[in-house]
Structure 1
Amino acid sequence: MSTSSAPFLPFIPFTRPHFDQATIDAVAEVLRSGWVTSGPKLAEFETALSEYFGGRPVRCFANGTATMKIALQVAGIGPGDEVITTPISWVATSNVILSVGATPVFVDVDPVTRNIDLNKVAAAITPKTRAIMPVYLSGLPVNMDQLCAIAKTHELRVIEDAAQAFGSQWQGKRIGSIGDLVSFSFQANKNLSTVEGGCLVLNNADEAKLAEKFRLQGLTRQGMDGMDVDVLGGKDNLTDVNAVIGLHQLKQLPAFQARRSALAKQYFSAIRSAMHSAGLSHMQLELPVENFINTNWHMFQVVLPLAQLKVDRAQIMTELKELGIGTGVHYPAITGFTLYQKLGYKLDATPIAERIGRSILTLPLFPGMADEDIGRITHALVTILQKYAKP
């Protein structure tokens, strides 16, 4: 299979946000209005999000990291507490646990879903455990019924790191419309983007008010009568510039979702066909869960069969880049990072996460991709696997 023409083709990044002209015009209108920080567009965006999540209170923040940290603060989690989470995630998930003085407790992942293995959670619960923070990798949620049952039995809060799961669902209900505290990210590569930002879905007006305090220096009131601060907050508010982008993205979300799903279906068919044609059906290239009901297809990830190859992941990524194809790694196991090693965490304590983190590869997936891009990417990947396959 020749790839000689590939370098002359346009580069395909692993993701690219889409902002249409109406969105750009709306941003310009906000800039001309003179009110560019938190204001009427933020209120409108929060109202729209609340409606999207079935009327639950929603507050927006400057980024998804702040959203998770404030969720922990709203839940009253702090020094001496333990929070169970997954080692396969962006490091922000566990960093925020450390930032409030609590201790992350890592439970290994399920090899198929790549999410936290809920069957192993009970064994990790101690008298210090206060919450479970699952992560929905690539937008695939965990079994919500099982998660809620564990939390209820052990009287734990659930803080869902649904950063990648906007638009995903569980048994016909949108993630965020059910559960406890649910955190979403609106960073540039997310299915719904405000460039930077995030939102937290809360349970009641009291929690929403507390979240507002935490996002703006703990402020309780201001105006002619002065102001007061009664909790330690930060500066994590979302601007109207970001909010108006979110409003337009929310309108386009159904089309974005449909396109992502269509591209994912093409990936499954193309990869299986190409592997068979190349005589690599025996190779254990692990595809994601083929779920077109619950998943929003935030990313399409494969786990490379490194034991069957004479090459490492870095070389495969380099060769794909040379062919004009961008890829990513989402994610190496958190327990292998220097900070966590210094804190005493052991990479081999979660062996499935270690293997997946060492072998996972994110392929391009975003609504602006062309159908023919899937064939080009698949062709390039399978050609490289064939080239380096062990006898």
Structure 2
Amino acid sequence: MSGSSQPFIPFTRPSFNQETIEAVSEVLRSGWVTSGPKLAEFEASLSTFFGGRPVRCFANGTATMKIALQVAGIGANDEVITTPISWVATSNVILSVGAKPVFVDIDPVTRNIDLNKVAAAITPKTRAIMPVYLAGLPVDMDQLYALAKKHSLRVIEDAAQAFGSQWEGKKIGSFGDLVSFSFQANKNLTTIEGGCLVLNNPDEAKLAEKFRLQGLTRQGMDGMDVDVLGGKDNLTDVNAAIGLEQLKQLPTYQTRRAALARQYFDVIRAELKAAGLENLQLELPVENFTESNWHMFQVVLPLDQLNTDRAQVMTELKDLGIGTGVHYPAITGFTLYKNQGYKTSDTPIAERIGKSILTLPLFPAMADEDIGRIAKGLIGILQKYRKN
């Protein structure tokens, strides 16, 4: 409960229409609720979305990334270059296949991995680059793939937050190497839990199928066989039915997210000016409306100009009935990684942004007036704690 008399605004909330509810009911009534015809239909629809590339779905986005690494043949003693600003699953899956994450600092403007610093991190053990598209904003794809080609590296795109994003008019996932998406509940397209992997050819797709179901290669009247070590990572028809309906709604959702993001830029700047805080170094996202899918709207608080910390700002926003999130602290600061010798000081930009980034509410069902309420609340708190 918040101290505000106004309705609480969460930082995100999925949208489900009546057609989605009916589609789920239809699957439940069919008697076939695990992986079946709806999953096949969903994968076919996703393949069409990505220009005909093979697509396989999984129980969650973490499994999707791990299987991408396995399909690429990455394992013990290999190194994978990635970013320290992401959900920890990005680096955890690298560890889980026996490889080593190598963290490269981020660009302070895009908050994505700084591709200009990647070459210096490449060693004879480097096998792949795993960029993350924070809040849906892709890296420079031309630079990424030129770098990978020059050094003969695989690219595993952690596009968990970038479904519907583009690069120079082409959908992320419609080109490139292995591209992983998440369909978790807060994503632009959700299946509640789930994810998909865009692959390069039918052989990779077949291998991904094996990894998602215990390595099974054959079953039926002639018996069965297993030839790789797989897991249990299949997506159900219930989830697939939700995904199919979400895919139909995606253009509407995307348009609304972009409209809300535009309002954020306009209203935050207006509130800063009205409060006499034009010189306050509140860092806004890259103002790009052709490539980002506006999965999240994040600001970086100017903590060195404030007599408070992020936790207090979040608490006071909650008291105003406004939910926020932190996406993300630097992975290298977690105990698991510190115990392996990683230090946040090795990536100082990520360390700073990880301590001061703040995710504001953004989801299609928000009302226009919510943006003004959020911006006014945030700027009021910053004004209150601004150092003299």
Q: Same fold (TM over 0.5)?
A: yes
Aligned to 2:346: 349
Aligned to 1:124: 121
Matches within 5 A, 1:161-180: 161-180=158-177
Name the SS of the counterpart of 1:223 in structure 2.
coil
Aligned to 1:371: 368
Matched, 1:196 2:193: yes
The equivalent position to 2:133 in structure 1, one of 107, 124, 136, is 136
Name the SS of the counterpart of 1:266 in structure 2.
helix
The equivalent position to 2:107 in structure 1, one of 82, 92, 110, is 110
Aligned to 1:321: 318
Instruction: Report the AA paired with residue 265 of structure 1.
Output: R
> In structure 2, what is the Cα distance between the partners aligned to 1:277 and 1:382?
10
> In structure 2, what is the Cα distance between the partners aligned to 1:6 and 1:213?
52
Aligned to 1:275: 272
Aligned to 1:226: 223
Aligned to 1:77: 74
Aligned to 1:387: 384
Name the SS of the counterpart of 1:283 in structure 2.
coil
> In structure 2, what is the Cα distance between the partners aligned to 1:367 and 1:182?
25
Superposition RMSD in Å: 0.8
> In structure 2, what is the Cα distance between the partners aligned to 1:179 and 1:11?
41
Name the SS of the counterpart of 1:301 in structure 2.
strand
Displacement, 1:389? 0.3
Displacement, 1:383? 0.4
Matched, 1:154 2:121: no
The total of aligned residue pairs comes to: 387
Moved over 6 A (4+): none
The equivalent position to 2:214 in structure 1, one of 217, 223, 228, is 217
Aligned to 1:302: 299
Aligned to 2:261: 264
In structure 1, the gaps of 5 or more residues are none
> In structure 2, what is the Cα distance between the partners aligned to 1:106 and 1:131?
12
Instruction: Report the AA paired with residue 327 of structure 1.
Output: T
Name the SS of the counterpart of 1:368 in structure 2.
coil
Name the SS of the counterpart of 2:220 in structure 1.
coil
> In structure 2, what is the Cα distance between the partners aligned to 1:74 and 1:319?
46
> In structure 2, what is the Cα distance between the partners aligned to 1:34 and 1:355?
52
Displacement, 1:295? 0.2
Displacement, 1:37? 0.1
Instruction: Report the AA paired with residue 381 of structure 1.
Output: L
> In structure 2, what is the Cα distance between the partners aligned to 1:305 and 1:24?
44
Matched, 1:311 2:313: no
The equivalent position to 1:54 in structure 2, one of 51, 56, 81, is 51
Displacement, 1:6? 7.6
> In structure 1, what is the Cα distance between the partners aligned to 2:366 and 2:16?
14
Instruction: Report the AA paired with residue 141 of structure 1.
Output: P
The equivalent position to 2:288 in structure 1, one of 291, 302, 307, is 291
> In structure 2, what is the Cα distance between the partners aligned to 1:127 and 1:184?
29
Name the SS of the counterpart of 2:217 in structure 1.
strand
Instruction: Report the AA paired with residue 280 of structure 2.
Output: M
> In structure 2, what is the Cα distance between the partners aligned to 1:284 and 1:213?
50
- Deviation digits for residues 193-227 of structure 1 (CA, Å, limit 9, x no counterpart): 00000000000000000000000000001000000
> In structure 2, what is the Cα distance between the partners aligned to 1:145 and 1:22?
39
The equivalent position to 1:336 in structure 2, one of 320, 333, 337, is 333
In structure 2, the gaps of 5 or more residues are none
> In structure 2, what is the Cα distance between the partners aligned to 1:388 and 1:207?
54
Instruction: Report the AA paired with residue 73 of structure 1.
Output: Q
Displacement, 1:273? 0.4
Displacement, 1:374? 0.1
Displacement, 1:321? 0.3
The equivalent position to 1:91 in structure 2, one of 88, 97, 120, is 88
Aligned to 1:182: 179
- Deviation digits for residues 345-374 of structure 1 (CA, Å, limit 9, x no counterpart): 011000000000000000000000000000
